[in-house]
Structure 1
Amino acid sequence: MNNFIGLQNLVTFMYKRGLTFILTFLCFLPLTSCITTGNTNQAVFSWISDPKTFNAVLNSSSPSIFQYTYEGLISENPITGIKEPALAEGWDISDDQLRIIFTLREDLKWSDGEPLTADDVVFTYNDLYLNKEIPNNYRDSFRIGREGTFPKIKKLDNRRIEFQINEPFAPFLDNASVPILPAHILKKTLTQRGSDGNLAFLSTWGTDTLPEKIIVNGPYKLKDYITSQRVIFEKNPFYWKKDKQGNQLPNIDRVVFAIVESTDTSLLQFRSGSLDSIGITPEYFPLLKREENRGNFTIYNGGPAYGTTFISFNLNKGKREGKPLVNPIKSEWFNNLNFRRAVAYAIDRPRIINNIYRGLGASQNTQISVQAPYYDKSIKGYEFNLDKARELLKQEGFFLNKKGELFDKKGNRVQFSLITNAGNKIREAIGAQIKEDLRKLGIKVDFSPLAFNVLIDKLSNSLDWEAHIIGFTGGNEPHAPNIWYTDGNLHMFNQKPQVGQKLITGRVVTDWEKEIEQLYLAGAQTLDREKRKEIYSKAQQLVSQYVPFIYLVNPYSLEAVRNRFKGIEYSPLGGAFWNIENISVQEISE
């Protein structure tokens, strides 16, 4: 599901430092010696920061340990987009689509050897994720349909669990992929409270917990964690999955994540052989491509990455305490459809691809990721065309003075502020280019990258902004009520105030917003995939027509991986090691 992680996962990019910088790799030899202890059957990666918690329910950030330590009832194959069995060997859906029964595999066990049963599943959902006293990022995704009711979950026997919902809901199976946690360890934390009155669960399994206390069901369990240095995983001896020959998986004995708080340093360590894989940004690509054969690694290109980057105008006509959220003069421009279309035509996406992404990117034309099965390839978006842009502005009474400055029909100079998150070099570069592009129309753009928390406060709380550049993450499932429902917390181009914020009067919801909302509601209620494609195609057409978000460019999904790994099936959604339990290490002759 789409969410605001696009704002949180700020990717920084390096500039060329010069060859003399390579000499500094010597200072990293102690780290290398710590993580290469003679065991060649291991994989060494990097995280840019320390994990924030070892509690899967409470986690709200990346990086995290949970992709290695926990599984849900089912999983999604990131290449095919098909839901596949995980802890559950299968599931049955009733004819009315309102009852789903999951059947667990036989003899499942936790990493401490205790049985994993339906009791753990019911406990995880009812007592943890749906517990009002436990704040978590999963709970809202369990709400069904427009009414937002929660499923009813009960145990049928030790291996079967029944989920009942009140209306057909196509995205519901996504909820079956959340981590399942051990009731025999955590149940007691719901009957105990700390001195602050909060459930003991809220302070359970922090990063100061001894690794052996963390009980898991995934391919790996936590072995060691040293703050600001490394996280080490070892094989879970009770993991359920086996290969075709009946051998216990995973194949790789140990996975190490070095905490490397600089992308420059990560690149350096990969080139020196300390890391086995690295995500590649456009700045890295020319250098690594030249070294691909000599360095004995392969660069995987998955095509356009999932997610979207866009520019958006504040269309909210409301007032707070009698003061308009947006200057009424500017609000009239922003709510003028031809003005938004003119801006969309004036942005030179090919230039962004060539200059900022170094040719390693592609235009994004709709709200659904290019890689997703629901993406409508027939929608062409807004190609760079200044003549079209000028004609649209002229139709609305905009005109240029002798200095080439644009004015509206009432004689107001067209000028607005554009914000994004400071430190994201790509977005900063895109903003600088958009400022140049719109100057060709006579529009003055005041571009100001802001500190991340300041940006979030403007977009979520004060709603005091005119235009911004941000991004949303994406996936194969198009359902995004938080964005496209008119009261969604990420319906940011016309935001309803969030809980606890001051009221807004005079907010106007347009007919096209309501129509898009109804299409997303219908898409969630429709289970037939082809019919869903038709619904989401209409939604994409409306978004393209009314341009609440002006979509820009996505980088290619690129990753460099050592050739000693066998079984890599690269996916832009899951990366190179999404199926790590099936990947093995092979010795390669130099």
Structure 2
Amino acid sequence: MFLAWGFFVLLSCLACSPPGGGSETPGRPAEAGPPCYGDTLITGSIGEPSNLIPILASDSSSHEVAGLIYNGLVKYDKDLKLVGDLAESFEVSKSGLVITFHLRKGVRWHDGQPFTAADVLFTYKTMVDPHTPTAYAEDFLQVEKAEAADPYTFRVTYKKPFAPALASWGISILPGHLLEGRDIMKSPLARHPVGTGPFIFKEWKTGEKVVLAYNPDYFEGRPYIDRYIYRIIPDSATMFMELKAGGIDNMGLTPLQYARQTEYRKFKENFNKYRYPAFAYTYLGFNLEDEKFRDRRVRQAVSYAIDRGEIIEGVLLGLGQEATGPYKPGTWAYNPNVKRYPYDAVKARELLQEAGWRDTDGDGILDKDGIPFRFTIITNQGNDIRARTAEIIQRRLKEVGIDVKIRIIEWAAFIKEFIEKKTFEATILGWTITQDPDIYDVWHSSKNKPGELNFISYRNTEVDALLERGRRTFDQEERRKIYWRIQEILAEEVPYVFLYVPDALPVVQARFKGIEPAAAGITYNLIKWYVPKAEQRYKMIAHSS
């Protein structure tokens, strides 16, 4: 929904193998002597961060980089269980209303100042400040009282039971000493962040790269890798050429690259490919403030007119599965029994006719009140999968009398000028799926302001009530019933055409060792990745903290 630390994350996406998957093509022996320090990991990305103050960003590129600079109080481990991060331990009261965090002592910000409970309290106050333009405030508005009991104890009390409470404290904690009393929107931290994480910010060259260096004082031990470079390469084909040429070490492969362009001996010797189910889905979303899409029958017709199997086989090459709602198939919140929309052009035409769309002038395009049924699908530059998906949708909709244009837009402009301002008709995008099934920020009618996540302007009073109930109980069976009902409503109303759940297809240069695929993927233990001394390619000239 690639938008967040573990919230939602717009885009960046990712089932056929078991959770966690494994190395598809082991390039070299996994063990190469004891871990040692040194070398640089260069990662390729089609997107550039927008803001490295995480609470102000809703794109996956920002959160991917910021996730190496900042920490939360808690995090998900390799088995997707919540464990302490900046909190050494925590206690939840029997009522579930009070959480007490015992913070790690001796942790320092990258500028040398000590981390304390005052920073956590400052972060909380910033989140609930109405002047803070963040999409993630809602979780923290549930808090009745937050207090720093002492420098290393932070306690939070909730007004009512709030199921996502503990997970919400995975949010990046901000340096109060650098932000308090200042306008966060004008803070230099947006481009020169200071955190507590395993890597220290060094440089950001717009349109080119972000450079991080190891934190020698990181509380979990310094990373073995000296530097992490995040290279911005807006085209996946160019990125793949850079990978093969040695310009980058790590990227997400497209299905075509994974299945057909990497199956030769030299590539397998030099790279390790991985495949595992993504906690993500891709969708076609409608701007529901657009008159064309206000009629549910029109949205249902579009859903019937799209052949998802054609997209999964033709674009994903079978490396994914059909999406039927906002949850990953096989998880406890996923409802397998919702209404489905198998490809049916006849049904699509019938629904469009019922909604008043007919071809009155014989030009092959439906019209209503003299207005032809035309609209534009926008998606982001550099994602060939989405572009090809749009082309298939364009062709299928033409067959039922709808004229579709496709517009590919550079990522930053796409988000700021079109998504956040709602100046679009329809869009192909993706969300990362969080471990807790709470989807309030994406679907509740109150979250449709500019910059918030319900940018399609969806409104349904029953869904609003269910979303509120779902976060007020800790009983998993009760929550399952609630989220199953939400999925039934979304399937009937079709605010999104849910398209597919892709597989994650990362590739890493084979000199990197210590990679251990798990339910959380492969980067959860990035600080443990290392390169044997004899295989190291890059040396740091100097490092200053």
- TM-score normalised by length of structure 2: 0.78
**SS of match in other structure, 1:168:** coil
Q: How far apart are 1:359 and its partner, in Å?
A: 3.0
- 2:523 is aligned to 577
- 2:67 is aligned to 67
Q: How far apart are 1:462 and its partner, in Å?
A: 6.8
For 2:88 and 2:422, the matched residues in 1 are separated by 48
For 2:359 and 2:47, the matched residues in 1 are separated by 50
- 1:173 is aligned to 166
For 1:407 and 1:260, the matched residues in 2 are separated by 40
Q: How far apart are 1:346 and its partner, in Å?
A: 2.4
Structure 2: gaps spanning 5 or more residues:
14-35, 536-545
Q: How far apart are 1:311 and its partner, in Å?
A: 4.4
1:80–1:534 Cα change, 3 Å: farther
- C-alpha distance after superposition, 1:28-76 (max 9, x if no partner): xxxxxxxxxx985442323456655554555555246421122111012
| 1:385-396 matched pairs, under 5 angstroms | 385-386=344-345, 388-389=347-348
1:436–1:552 Cα change, 3 Å: same
Does 1:437 pair with 2:408?
A: no
- 2:264 is aligned to 290
Partner letter of residue 147 of structure 2?
K
**SS of match in other structure, 2:488:** helix
For 1:199 and 1:411, the matched residues in 2 are separated by 50
- C-alpha distance after superposition, 1:80-109 (max 9, x if no partner): 332111111222222332221111134434
1:298–1:386 Cα change, 3 Å: same
Does 1:276 pair with 2:249?
A: yes
Does 1:157 pair with 2:140?
A: no
Mean CA deviation greater in 521-530 or 53-62: 53-62
For 2:135 and 2:422, the matched residues in 1 are separated by 23
1:139–1:492 Cα change, 3 Å: closer
- C-alpha distance after superposition, 1:106-141 (max 9, x if no partner): 443444555432223223322x43444544444344
- 1:244 is aligned to none
1:411–1:136 Cα change, 3 Å: closer
For 1:103 and 1:274, the matched residues in 2 are separated by 43
- 2:280 is aligned to 306
Partner letter of residue 142 of structure 1?
F
Q: 1:253 aligns with which of 226, 230, 239?
A: 226
- 2:186 is aligned to 202
- 1:535 is aligned to 482
Q: 2:284·2:499 contact (CA, 8 Å) conserved in 1?
A: yes
1:378–1:585 Cα change, 3 Å: farther
For 1:553 and 1:566, the matched residues in 2 are separated by 32
- C-alpha distance after superposition, 1:512-545 (max 9, x if no partner): x222222111111111233222221121122113
Q: How far apart are 1:228 and its partner, in Å?
A: 5.6
- 2:379 is aligned to 421
Measured on the aligned residues, the alpha-carbon RMSD in Å equals 4.0
Greater relative CO (CA pairs within 8 A, separation 6+):
2
- 2:180 is aligned to 190
For 2:415 and 2:363, the matched residues in 1 are separated by 32
Q: 1:282·1:358 contact (CA, 8 Å) conserved in 2?
A: yes
**SS of match in other structure, 1:585:** coil
1:274–1:527 Cα change, 3 Å: same
For 1:455 and 1:253, the matched residues in 2 are separated by 33
Does 1:139 pair with 2:137?
A: yes
**SS of match in other structure, 1:69:** coil
Structure 1: gaps spanning 5 or more residues:
12-37, 145-149, 192-197, 242-247, 317-324, 496-508
Q: How far apart are 1:388 and its partner, in Å?
A: 4.8
**SS of match in other structure, 1:308:** strand
Partner letter of residue 233 of structure 1?
L
- C-alpha distance after superposition, 1:189-213 (max 9, x if no partner): 534xxxxxx6488333354x5xxxx
Q: How far apart are 1:280 and its partner, in Å?
A: 0.6
- C-alpha distance after superposition, 1:484-535 (max 9, x if no partner): 223331545555xxxxxxxxxxxxx6xxx22222211111111123322222
Does 1:93 pair with 2:122?
A: no
1:419–1:163 Cα change, 3 Å: same
For 1:290 and 1:554, the matched residues in 2 are separated by 27
Q: 1:7·1:470 contact (CA, 8 Å) conserved in 2?
A: no
1:111–1:83 Cα change, 3 Å: same
For 1:201 and 1:451, the matched residues in 2 are separated by 25
Mean CA deviation greater in 467-476 or 48-57: 48-57
1:80–1:382 Cα change, 3 Å: farther
Q: 2:436 aligns with which of 455, 477, 482?
A: 477
Partner letter of residue 239 of structure 2?
S
Mean CA deviation greater in 278-287 or 363-372: 363-372
- 1:263 is aligned to 236
Q: 1:420·1:455 contact (CA, 8 Å) conserved in 2?
A: no
1:273–1:199 Cα change, 3 Å: closer
Q: How far apart are 1:457 and its partner, in Å?
A: 5.9
**SS of match in other structure, 1:446:** strand
Q: 2:275·2:503 contact (CA, 8 Å) conserved in 1?
A: yes
Q: How far apart are 1:366 and its partner, in Å?
A: 0.9
Q: 1:219·1:236 contact (CA, 8 Å) conserved in 2?
A: yes
**SS of match in other structure, 1:298:** strand
For 1:257 and 1:346, the matched residues in 2 are separated by 40
Partner letter of residue 277 of structure 1?
N
How many residues are matched? 501
1:262–1:491 Cα change, 3 Å: closer
1:396–1:49 Cα change, 3 Å: closer
- C-alpha distance after superposition, 1:531-575 (max 9, x if no partner): 222221121122113323221124321111123333324468x65
Q: 1:355 aligns with which of 306, 309, 314?
A: 314
- C-alpha distance after superposition, 1:355-404 (max 9, x if no partner): 22333332111122347542223446222234554666688898889979
Q: 2:116·2:151 contact (CA, 8 Å) conserved in 1?
A: yes
For 1:116 and 1:216, the matched residues in 2 are separated by 10
1:228–1:418 Cα change, 3 Å: closer
1:576–1:200 Cα change, 3 Å: closer
Q: 2:375·2:403 contact (CA, 8 Å) conserved in 1?
A: yes
Q: How far apart are 1:162 and its partner, in Å?
A: 0.9
- TM-score normalised by length of structure 1: 0.72
1:403–1:71 Cα change, 3 Å: same
